[in-house]
Structure 1
Amino acid sequence: MRYALGVEYDGSEFLGWQRLSKPGEPGDDTVQQALETALSTIADARIATTCAGRTDAGVHAQCNVVHFDTDAVRDPRGWVLGTTSRLPLSVTVRWCVPVADDFNARFSAIARRYRYTLRNQPVRPALGRQWLSWERVPLDAQAMHEAAQVLVGEQDFTAFRTVHCQAPHARRDLQAISVTRSGDDVVVEVRANAFLHHMVRNIVGSLLVVGRGDRPPAWIAELLAGRDRKAAGPTAPSAGLVFVGPLYPPGFGLPDEVTA
């Protein structure tokens, strides 16, 4: 059987999603390692997972989707409760759905969504600080939103990829991006078919330069056209970034939160 899981986690204490050791070797501090160890205990056999989005160190997930294959006979509720009981408190399996063999958590996704939250106030926050980035300089969220709209569409995002990115090319279809303010929080929401390594954090870092008034909104278009990572803003901290989740076609029968 093939199953899909919705996994929520606080990435603060993890080195990222991707397992660093080989299957069966001593564990490491990654979400994948923790999840596969828990699943393998429930299945009484080694379980390997494939995820929709490989988040970096310190990045969180509202609903990362994974799939795995197993011969073990367990009902979905058993996978959810049993696996969660063996996970750190910072990781939860939210749901489990049996899926067809042609479902792939990575390749079946038609979009992925991220949210970046900035607490914009004079002093650093104490509560919720592990899920927020902090900016003391007043930000113009409207200018940031205006600047970001040039990024919509299928484009070359070389200016916003890390030098360590291993993707074969930098073209991505960014389907929507918005910057809004709610009280002291400035929230950047992004949806694309896929993302490059550090792409969202690098976009946010450049939008911050606009938000502070150091550059005009048109600067983002110049960066995009110039394709020079060195000319763009710094990489925003990981703490404020949440992988909201992927989206899939309706035919897979997944929960509404991950169905387009």
Structure 2
Amino acid sequence: MRIVLGLEYCGVGFCGWQSQQQGCGVQDALEAAMAAIAGEKIRVTTAGRTDTGVHAAFQVVHFDTDVKRPLSAWVRGVNSHLPAGVAVLWAREVGEDFHARFGAMQRGYRYVLLNHAVRPGLNQGLIGWHHNPLDAAAMNAAAALLIGQHDFTAFRAAECQAKSPVKDLRLLQIERRGDYLLCDFRADGFLHHMVRNLMGSLIQVGAGAHPPAWIREILDGRDRTRAAPTFDAAGLYLTHIRYPAHFALPETSERWLFA
């Protein structure tokens, strides 16, 4: 039997999604909680791994088990064994043709950026911050030059293990809400640090250090050293995962603060 779970988590205090020898990954916490309900070891497959300090408003995993439990046990039961920063939102039974990672048709991230002279206190670790005024219109003009299928080598981490740097970026838009910039990215897939690297360069455009056309020069040059440094992980959230319609799964969660 294959079960799929939707979950959310705060990346603060975890060393990213992936299981680690020291047991500090979100995956470690989830699998330990699931084992307590199943009475046996459970291994999950995720839609996408997140780095240290990155959050998920909407993450999807699947697992196989012969243990018979009501679906509610995989939600309320598992949650009773999870740390406060992780919660299962729902559970569904699916066919064996479902795969959380390889079946995902589109993924989306939102970067929440405080654009204010004073650093955050209340939301420290949950949002990014830039102290100088940013021009959202200039950032959107630069973002428009990145839409489509491109080689994103210039925005790829050196340790990225993806087979190809070519990705189809389908949405990149920046919306200002008061002192906040909400920056949305959707693509068929993302390279390691791709969103944070794009954020670093978009912020330089917004701050007036470069014109919007500069970001296309960086993209076409395929040279990571010419782009801005990787931006802070704190404001990055996995928010959106789309699967084929016949699975009838949610694509996102509307229950988080920055929806």
Q: TM-score, normalised by structure 1?
A: 0.95
Q: What SS does structure 1 have at the residue aligned with 2:162?
A: coil
What residue number does 1:20 align with? 20
What residue number does 2:99 align with? 104
CA distance in 1, matches of 2:189, 2:173: 17
Question: How does 1:51-90 map onto structure 2 within 5 Å?
Answer: 51-90=46-85
**Structure 1 residue 162: Cα displacement:** 0.6
User: Could you give the per-residue CA deviations for residues 71-128 of structure 1, whole angstroms, max 9, x where no partner exists?
Assistant: 1111111110010110000000000000111100001110000000110111111112
CA distance in 1, matches of 2:19, 2:38: 19
Contact 1:84–1:93 (CA under 8 A) maintained in structure 2: yes
Question: How does 1:144-163 map onto structure 2 within 5 Å?
Answer: 144-163=139-158
Contact 1:59–1:238 (CA under 8 A) maintained in structure 2: yes
**Letter of the structure 1 residue corresponding to residue 136 of structure 2:** A
Q: Pick from 204, 210, 223: which aligns with 1:215?
A: 210
Contact 1:65–1:245 (CA under 8 A) maintained in structure 2: no
Q: Pick from 97, 115, 126: which aligns with 1:131?
A: 126
CA distance in 2, matches of 1:188, 1:53: 19
Q: Pick from 233, 237, 243: which aligns with 2:238?
A: 243
CA distance in 2, matches of 1:63, 1:145: 25
Contact 2:242–2:251 (CA under 8 A) maintained in structure 1: no
**Structure 1 residue 130: Cα displacement:** 1.8
**Structure 1 residue 233: Cα displacement:** 0.6
**Structure 1 residue 249: Cα displacement:** 1.4
Q: What runs of 5+ residues in structure 2 fail to find an aligned partner?
A: 254-259
**Structure 1 residue 256: Cα displacement:** 5.3
Alignment of 1:189 onto 2:184: yes
What residue number does 2:32 align with? 37
CA distance in 1, matches of 2:250, 2:114: 31
Contact 1:61–1:245 (CA under 8 A) maintained in structure 2: no
CA distance in 2, matches of 1:126, 1:143: 28
Per residue, is there more helix in 1 or in 2?
1
Contact 1:180–1:187 (CA under 8 A) maintained in structure 2: yes
CA distance in 1, matches of 2:250, 2:170: 22
Q: What SS does structure 2 have at the residue aligned with 1:147?
A: helix
Contact 2:241–2:251 (CA under 8 A) maintained in structure 1: no
**Structure 1 residue 180: Cα displacement:** 1.2
How many correspondences in the alignment? 253
State the identity %.
Answer: 50
Runs of 4+ in structure 1 off by over 3 angstroms are none
CA distance in 1, matches of 2:139, 2:248: 37
Contact 2:240–2:251 (CA under 8 A) maintained in structure 1: no
Contact 2:152–2:166 (CA under 8 A) maintained in structure 1: yes
CA distance in 1, matches of 2:235, 2:215: 21
CA distance in 1, matches of 2:129, 2:104: 32
User: Could you give the per-residue CA deviations for residues 155-195 of structure 1, whole angstroms, max 9, x where no partner exists?
Assistant: 10000001111112200111111011000001110000000
